[in-house]
Amino acid sequence: MTRKIAVLVGSLRKESFSRKIAKNIEALAPAGLTFEEIDISKVGHYNQDLDGNPPAEWVELHDRIKSADAVLFVTPEYNRSVPGVLKNAIDIASRPYGHSAFNGKPAAVVSSSPGNIGGFGAHHHLRQTLAFLNMPILQQPEMYLSGVGDWFDDEGKIKKEETRKFLAQFAETFANWIEKTAPAK
């Protein structure tokens, strides 16, 4: 069975390390997973007044996540937390209350940093939010990726074989997690 994975990247930067990590995970993933990055750059700020008449980009975001079997979150850390653009997209797709696009979908979190902590703060803040959204979250391997500033070649591919193997193992584990926890189709 093919499983569709919605990918939410917490960085808008053109040469985003998070996006490069997501693309490498996709390339290393086992057969049966398809990945679709959802562009969150054009989604306006959440405003509860618009819940009854949401803008088209909100509806598109909600529908694309809702149609996925699982969600992969790949994010940097900003000020020991989740980037605002990612949190905003989560807030929009989880509204109105009781109609969350995330409900019951298996999730995995990958955080990264050029520094040594690997996005630990963002990772755990995001996990708190996903628990509230009723998303079964992959626990292991924990994906706090540090020193990512020199991971990539000129084409955005991972340079070190051991890192590629680690990301491939993660993708395999995530695929198994999805099969165990995804709601029946």
Q: In this structure, what token pair is assigned to residue 116?
A: 């040594």
37 bridge partner residues = 7
Q: In this structure, what token pair is assigned to residue 150?
A: 């020199």
Does the pTM surpass 0.75? The reply is yes
Helix (H, G, I), strand (E, B) or coil at 177: helix
Domains, the chain: 3-181 (3.40.50.360)
The pLDDT of residue 118 is: 87
H or E stretch covering 174: helix 161-181
Which residue has tokens 């490498």?
24
Which residue has tokens 């706090």?
144
Residue-level length of the chain: 185
List the chain residues with pLDDT less than 50. none
The pLDDT of residue 116 is: 87
Instruction: Determine the straight-line distance between the first and last CA of the chain, rounded to whole angstroms.
Output: 11
What tens digit of pLDDT does each residue of 40-53 get?
999 999 999 999 99
